[in-house]
Homo-oligomer: A and B are copies of this chain.
Amino acid sequence: MANDKIKWIRDWLYMKIAVVGGTGDCGQGFIKRWAGEHEIVIGSRKADKAEAAAAELTRFLKSRGIDSRIKGMDNAAAIEASDLVVLSVPYNFVESMTSNLRESYGDQIVISPVVPMARVGRHFEYTPPAQGSAALLARDLLPPSVRVVAAFHTISYAAFQELDLTLGGDVLIVGDDPEAKEVVADLVRVVKDLRPLDGGPLELAAQVEGLTPLLLNIGRLNKIKNAGINVVSC
């Protein structure tokens, strides 16, 4: 009886998180850092590829003593099965991951860590679409019932997926729905030493997306590995 109740509470606290593009490099960090706390559904264009990635990540996490519940599905099924979707894809896939899969979305929270940027010479520049940012493009293409939150632009993907690394840095969160932003802030807090900060409404997503090319340039020019930011007070 007591055990049942604990199980029920655990099930309730679990979220089902779809990581679309979860077989790519960018998705690994989200899965590895969250799989101990939440159920993960890896989405890919091919279900078998997603299933293979799920099996491999389950084994990897087991070897680290982390019990996980990770499934693999095609993107449409992954989105339909989830409470929250991470758009873990390069910018040029945002349109296909939103408009083409529009019918799979209901009232999920969608996290966009996406950054439109280009290499110009030796530097990265922010190259937002006409909507102003990748997050606003995603919002325009998704059903209005979906709550888009932009976050995780200042965390190096390379560092994010290395579970042994303690990530010291701030994650700036922008979005229009306070509850959705708080859910995302909790997902930031799951990762020890990361601090969530409110960056304002989704209209300001360009401000945080633009930090990625800035940090890539500063990291290279000043030899700072996996550069992130801390907002400090004077």
Enumerate chain A interface residues (CB-CB to B < 8 A): 120, 123, 125-126, 155-156, 159, 165-169, 172, 197-201, 203-204, 207-208, 210-211, 213-215, 217-219, 221-222, 224-234
Contact = CB atoms under 8 A, between A and B. Distances in A.
Question: In terms of DSSP, what is the predominant structure of the interface of chain A?
Answer: mixed
23 contacts: A125-B203, A125-B207, A155-B234, A156-B234, A165-B234, A166-B234, A167-B234, A168-B232, A168-B234, A169-B232, A172-B214, A197-B218, A197-B222, A198-B218, A198-B221, A199-B214, A199-B217, A204-B217, A211-B214, A215-B231, A227-B232, A227-B233, A230-B230
A201 B123 contact: yes
Contacts of A172: 214, 218
Nearest to A121: B201
B123 A200 contact: yes
